[in-house]
Structure 1
């Protein structure tokens, strides 16, 4: 399981995506799981990173899921209409 950093905003999104892409190579063949429980400060860049991670996983024929997403991330995904596209598991209900 891969862990998202505490801060995932526009200034660090590119570096975060690069780090996650490198870590994908070590994940099991069945799928990639990203743990978002550590996210404390984020903006729409977090959604962009997760969507790109999902795209890469699909291109490699792997599953993709986001676990333990904070309620505010779920609300942001719902606001932008990508909550149905991203697979959120074990997340608290969004406000």
Structure 2
């Protein structure tokens, strides 16, 4: 299982680079099993959700699985507001 960590800050300006870094790390694995540790995330906007959903889409398309742990309450609330919390919890 690959473990990826969200940074302390994940705003719009950092989102593409964060997802690209993760995609590069996962390319060699044909059926990735990924755990994302979100516990360090302090400053974020909806781009953090876009990164998590992008990773989920990629991993699921390869037949893998994603588990998100340590999701801060504010991120859970934002995901609920956008209607994607269930997607992230069952990823």
Superposition TM-score tier, normalisation by shorter sequence: 0.7 to 0.9
Higher RCO structure, 1 or 2 (CA under 8 Å, sep 6+) = 2
Unmatched runs of 5 consecutive residues or more in structure 2 = none
Q: Distance in 2 between matches of 1:30 and 1:18?
A: 16
Q: What number of residue pairs does the alignment pair up?
A: 89
Task: Identify the residue that residue 40 of structure 2 maps to in structure 1.
Answer: 38
TM-score by length of 2: 0.88
Give the unaligned 5+ runs of structure 1: 89-95
| Structure having the larger proportion of residues in helix | 2
User: RMSD in angstroms over aligned alpha carbons?
Assistant: 2.0
Among 72, 80, 83, the alignment partner of 2:82 is: 80
The two structures have a TM-score, normalised by structure 1, of 0.84
Report the 3-state secondary structure (helix = DSSP H, G, I; strand = E; otherwise coil) of the residue aligned with 2:48.
helix
After TM superposition, the structure 1 = structure 2 runs for residues 15-94 of structure 1, keeping only pairs within 5 Å, are 15-25=17-27, 29=31, 31-87=33-89
**Which consecutive segments of 4 or more residues in structure 1 shift more than 4 A?**
26-30
